[in-house]
Structure 1
Amino acid sequence: MAFKKDIPVIVAAIDFGTAYSGIAFQFKHEFEKDPTKISAPQAWNGGKEHLISYKTPTCLLLDKDGKIHSFGYQAEDKYADLCIEGKHTDWYFFRRFKMRLHEREGLTKSSELEDASKKKMKTIDVFSKSIECLTKVLMEMLDRQGVLVSSTEIHWVLTVPAIWNEPSKQFMREAAIMAGIKSNQLDIALEPEAAALYCQYLPLDRFVDKEDEVRFGALPPGSTYMVVDLGGGTADMTVHQKTKGNQLKEVVKASGGPWGGTAVEDKFLGTLEDIIGKGAMEVFRKQYTYDYFDLLREFESVKRKISMKTEDKLTIKKPVALDNVSEGNSFKALLENSKYSQDILVHLDKLRISPDFVRKLFQHVTDKIIKHIEVIFSSCETVTLILLVGGMSESLFVQDIIRSRFHGKNGIKVITPKEAGLSVLKGAVIFGRSPEVIETRVLRYTYGVSTTPEFDPEEHPEEKKIEIDGKIRCKDVFNAFIRVNTPVEMGHSVTECYSTIVPFQTAIILQVFSSSDPEPKFTTDPGCLKVGELAVFIPNPSEEERAVIVVFNFGYTELQVLAFEARTMIPFITSLKMNE
């Protein structure tokens, strides 16, 4: 694979996850010798020692003035201290907030996010400060190692789910820029693609199931496989075909849903809430924050240990605080009177949980994942392999359940790299050097602009009628220029021409929209989402109608735009302005 000519010596990646986040980096000479030689340091302090992780919880702690105090385990521990001392209400603590971008609808630059105490802060500030923390950790670590490097010598890669739309990716880019990363030093990588890139280089002994003798990187051209990326917040699935030169062609658009590991955790917390009551659970979370975080860390260990073959009960430490918040009743007494009395037992200071019950906590998530994989198979019968990646894929139970359903059926194989939770992060570093390896992508949306053509009573509804400069026009018309499910190679361009509608118009403001519908009529139709807007300025505006030519470039991880004023044909690069 060729190097990007403008890539500096170091490529660094940030995997900004729902539950955990991490950083990785690689020097150019390391990539040349062994592309998998990527440093993903354990640069985080705090947390349980038995939780072996190269990542840290996605938690941000700010002081009362909104200044950064800490990120990750340190943020959790400091916030717990503040709660014990009753000083936490003046601080800002944000945890697991990435899913706000998955929800997407209505997200703008001025959108706000609630912290643990219901105080609000601009969402983009929370994201940018978190990214700033991650970049700072890397720079400090390089400095300790005696590596003399400036910020301008690092090319950054930020990972996002492939199922995110343009506004969400645009939001992350803007947050990174606010964190101090220059736009021309930043790539956005799609998580399943990054994982697939990394796995292409792995030898057979770097996969969990060596006995299957499937080396992912040795798949011949024409092979079609499905990437199932199971993270903390989302399940992200896409289908690739391998082409000549080890390039990848997306053949089925990315899809998925909120079926990540945190959904399993939420089920467990819901169980405790059923036992002690909603009010008591809220007190436990707010007043006994250390115990709350410890319980979640203990349960994370259980999630990783459970498998389909597990027969013995799983043990976690029972927080003493569960007795303190139960209004005079012991947790044991409440448990024994609940519907969970056969599933969870209290033994001294331990909770003993039946493996069947833990498997049930997973089931509402794994059922949706399996059903969605089956839907993808129904539309693409050429898939012969499932590549299972992402943090949740490290769960033995998840591996077991997906293998039991698909492995060996119709010749399908399911494989998992040993570093499933780091495959996206490390693959993002490789992507930073070779983004052109993704040859073709499939559009997830129909794209178009909002236009105001002359009103046609036979085609346009009466409520859309407006008057502009004495002419009757129709507002909110979705003028599509490319449609959902269209395969696009990198740099695939669509050229459109737009005209002024009033004399001496100084600029044409184009509002760009997306829709999952292949034939949307109006930008106000259900499912339509404003991607952003761009301004094309008219040099020397005149009384006569003027035209601009806009070239939309697809096939990259982000939509790129180039514009010309038709009279002068002088090009200028423009970009979509994020919704305010």
Structure 2
Amino acid sequence: MTEPDIRVVAAIDFGTTYSGYAYAHKANPNEIFANTDWQEYEGRFKTPTVLKYNDNWKLESWGAPALTERPKRRGKNISKKPVELFKLHLGKMENKPSLPSGLDYKTAITDYLCEITKSLKTTLESRWPMVDFYSQIPAEFDATAIATMRNCAHKAGLVQQKDTPNLLFTTEPEAAAIHCMKALREHDLGVGDSFMVVDCGGGTVDLTTRKLLAGNKLSEITEREGDFCGGSFVDQEFIKFLGRKVGSSAIDLVRQNHYGQLQYMVQEFCRKVKVPFTGVIKDFKSVELDLEDICPILKQYVKGQAKEDMEDAEWVVNIEFDDVKAMFDPVVGKIIRLIHGQLNKSDEECSVMFLVGGFSESRYLQSRIRQEFNGIVKNIPVPPNPIVAIVKGAVQFGLKQDVIDDRVLKWTYGTRIARDWTPDDPLERKTGKHIIVFERLGKKGDRVGVDQKVLRIFAPTSIIQEHACLDLYVTSKDDAEYCDEPDVNLLDNFNFHVPITGDDIRPILYVMNFGMVEIQTTAINVATGEKYDKTFDFDI
């Protein structure tokens, strides 16, 4: 079968609160287009990561049209189940946001990717009819989550085959770093200089520190890190603030029964309070939120003293400067601690710190970071249109993948092998004459070159053994003794046939190749020359 002629690279930035895509033709790689045609949300680089279903769980709308319309004071307000923040279910955070009963997060992801894929294909078809494209998805989760994303992308129709090489994952901070490369000269960075990228999104904040090498290549000099402390967590602090005014039980009931009105109220907070906030008192004017106007259903759930207080206030909530600062500070403080941790990991001077992502446009966040790090980092710029840094960087990576020279392993990798049992080993783990142990193949924090290979020689433990098993395991620890320890997880199985030859030793050459975004393993029967290949999706 003939391979398709791939002439267009497209990238989808599937974000926690907003999503978008960009694309470029290989014939003109310097011209990268970020989509701004989003149904009723034209002129913006991204559309909300929101879905709206009917009561039978049939998708009614997505993106901006799925955001709830202004509530009516009169008439029945029927909840249409707008759903948001479902991407956070890919991560390992505690207290994940709730989803409506009956909706699985994988279904939500698939439905959303299906709609954004339709938009992408329509856009590309209008520019270059009948042209096949190559897809990039930047993601910053573990191997299991990336495998889930690949399955969802396949079900959504983004790719025809789940394991196609035409769907490639890169990491979000890596894509952002590639995008920022073009601005390095503006800030007097040259070969050998290091820079940090702080990607502040809606749900997550991810950091990476890179060094510019000769030939416009990037080296990762520290293990990248991140946490759940993006802009949407400021919204959650607002909900907590409101709960202290009207009672948390009232908020919970609105969330459960009239989620659309809660969503509308959050959007009003973002428009009137969150976006304009600078952290400077003289810039701030007290904000009044009329709950009867923006969330009329709330009144029926407020009880007791809270109801009396709100009636006295005529259902108006005043938001003062200190209130808003208290909403931002837990989130901003967490981001500042992440930056300190990233700086402390490197012995090299960080010349520039780029702030990218939608939340980086917050002037308060910018001022707090600059105030904290101006004495440590010479320059802390926000590139133009920081909200598209990731998606444009992902396109650039798809056009020129050799820009990455090496990466730092985020996990420790190993396989499951049998070796001779010794008296120092636990007796309860003895199996015949052997013991099953974790054999480390790559250590967390190690720097590995693109296409760097790890070589090992293994052999069957018995002359009558006909099958070998070299499964791949991952752990966040530096090492492990056994594969069933806590925090040691099976990434995937790798089984193959080993013919019986009568020889006492039948050596198997195990080759593990750290590729661009996947691990390729090959087992070679040294005696026969037979090869067995296995590709593992992974997040290094």
Q: Assess same fold via TM > 0.5.
A: yes
Q: Give the secondary-structure state (helix, strand or coil) at the position aligned to 1:296.
A: helix
Higher mean C-alpha deviation, range 540-549 or range 412-421: 540-549
Q: 1-side partners of 2:307 and 2:192: how far apart? A: 58
CA displacement at 1:237 relative to structure 2: 0.8
Equivalent pair of 1:538/1:565 in contact (CA under 8 Å): no
CA displacement at 1:321 relative to structure 2: 2.6
State yes or no: 1:54 paired with 2:45: yes
Percent of aligned pairs with the same amino acid: 26
Q: Give the secondary-structure state (helix, strand or coil) at the position aligned to 2:536.
A: coil
CA displacement at 1:329 relative to structure 2: 6.8
Q: Give the secondary-structure state (helix, strand or coil) at the position aligned to 2:16.
A: coil
Gap change, CA 1:6 and 1:384, over 3 Å in 2: farther
CA displacement at 1:286 relative to structure 2: 3.1
State yes or no: 1:321 paired with 2:297: yes
Deviation per residue, 1:279-332 (Å, 9 max, x gap): 211221233333212112122223221112233224555322332321377768
Q: 1-side partners of 2:381 and 2:142: how far apart? A: 28
Q: 2-side partners of 1:543 and 1:253: how far apart? A: 47
Gap change, CA 1:473 and 1:277, over 3 Å in 2: farther
State yes or no: 1:190 paired with 2:171: yes
CA displacement at 1:200 relative to structure 2: 2.4
Q: 2-side partners of 1:184 and 1:253: how far apart? A: 26
Task: State the match for 2:435 in structure 1.
Answer: 474
Gap change, CA 1:350 and 1:565, over 3 Å in 2: farther
Return the letter of the residue paired with 1:488: V
CA displacement at 1:506 relative to structure 2: 4.6
CA displacement at 1:12 relative to structure 2: 0.8
Deviation per residue, 1:432-454 (Å, 9 max, x gap): 11121011111122210122323
Aligned counterpart for 1:44 among listed residues 26, 30, 38: 38
Task: State the match for 1:342 in structure 2.
Answer: none
Q: Give the secondary-structure state (helix, strand or coil) at the position aligned to 1:452.
A: strand
Gap change, CA 1:509 and 1:171, over 3 Å in 2: farther
Task: State the match for 1:340 in structure 2.
Answer: none
State yes or no: 1:73 paired with 2:70: no
Task: State the match for 1:357 in structure 2.
Answer: 323
Gap change, CA 1:284 and 1:525, over 3 Å in 2: same
Return the letter of the residue paired with 2:34: A
Q: 2-side partners of 1:500 and 1:104: how far apart? A: 41
Task: State the match for 1:557 in structure 2.
Answer: 517
Return the letter of the residue paired with 1:566: V
Task: State the match for 2:186 in structure 1.
Answer: 215
Task: State the match for 1:136 in structure 2.
Answer: 118
Q: Give the secondary-structure state (helix, strand or coil) at the position aligned to 2:387.
A: coil
CA displacement at 1:503 relative to structure 2: 5.8
Q: 1-side partners of 2:483 and 2:498: how far apart? A: 29
Gap change, CA 1:323 and 1:115, over 3 Å in 2: closer
Gap change, CA 1:473 and 1:274, over 3 Å in 2: farther
Q: 2-side partners of 1:503 and 1:130: how far apart? A: 53
Question: Could you list the runs of 5+ residues in structure 1 that have no partner in the other structure?
Answer: 106-112, 204-213, 337-345
User: Superposed, which structure 2 residues align to 1:126-165 within 5 Å?
Assistant: 126-143=108-125, 145=126, 147-150=128-131, 153-161=132-140, 164-165=141-142
Equivalent pair of 2:517/2:537 in contact (CA under 8 Å): no
Aligned counterpart for 1:306 among listed residues 272, 277, 286: 277
CA displacement at 1:231 relative to structure 2: 1.1
Aligned counterpart for 2:454 among listed residues 489, 494, 499: 494
Higher mean C-alpha deviation, range 62-71 or range 280-289: 62-71
Equivalent pair of 1:259/1:368 in contact (CA under 8 Å): yes
Q: 2-side partners of 1:246 and 1:58: how far apart? A: 34
Tell me the matched-pair count. Answer: 521
Q: 2-side partners of 1:335 and 1:424: how far apart? A: 47
Deviation per residue, 1:8-28 (Å, 9 max, x gap): 221111111111111111222
Deviation per residue, 1:501-527 (Å, 9 max, x gap): 456545323332222322322223343
Q: 2-side partners of 1:394 and 1:449: how far apart? A: 44
Gap change, CA 1:313 and 1:252, over 3 Å in 2: same
TM-score, with length taken from structure 2 = 0.86
CA displacement at 1:276 relative to structure 2: 2.2
Aligned counterpart for 1:169 among listed residues 119, 135, 146: 146
Task: State the match for 1:264 in structure 2.
Answer: 234
Gap change, CA 1:72 and 1:411, over 3 Å in 2: closer
Deviation per residue, 1:372-399 (Å, 9 max, x gap): 2122222324112111111111111111
Q: 2-side partners of 1:165 and 1:290: how far apart? A: 32
TM-score, with length taken from structure 1 = 0.81
Gap change, CA 1:114 and 1:380, over 3 Å in 2: closer
Question: Could you list the runs of 5+ residues in structure 2 that have no partner in the other structure?
Answer: none
CA displacement at 1:120 relative to structure 2: 4.8
Task: State the match for 1:206 in structure 2.
Answer: none
Aligned counterpart for 2:266 among listed residues 296, 299, 308: 296
Q: 1-side partners of 2:68 and 2:289: how far apart? A: 20
Task: State the match for 2:19 in structure 1.
Answer: 21
Higher mean C-alpha deviation, range 134-143 or range 253-262: 134-143
Deviation per residue, 1:328-357 (Å, 9 max, x gap): 777682498xxxxxxxxx6x7764422232
Task: State the match for 1:463 in structure 2.
Answer: 428
Equivalent pair of 1:166/1:559 in contact (CA under 8 Å): no
Q: 2-side partners of 1:235 and 1:542: how far apart? A: 55
Superposed CA RMSD in Å reads 3.3
User: Superposed, which structure 2 residues align to 1:434-473 within 5 Å?
Assistant: 434-458=400-424, 460-465=425-430, 467=431, 471-473=432-434
Gap change, CA 1:558 and 1:334, over 3 Å in 2: farther
Equivalent pair of 1:533/1:576 in contact (CA under 8 Å): no
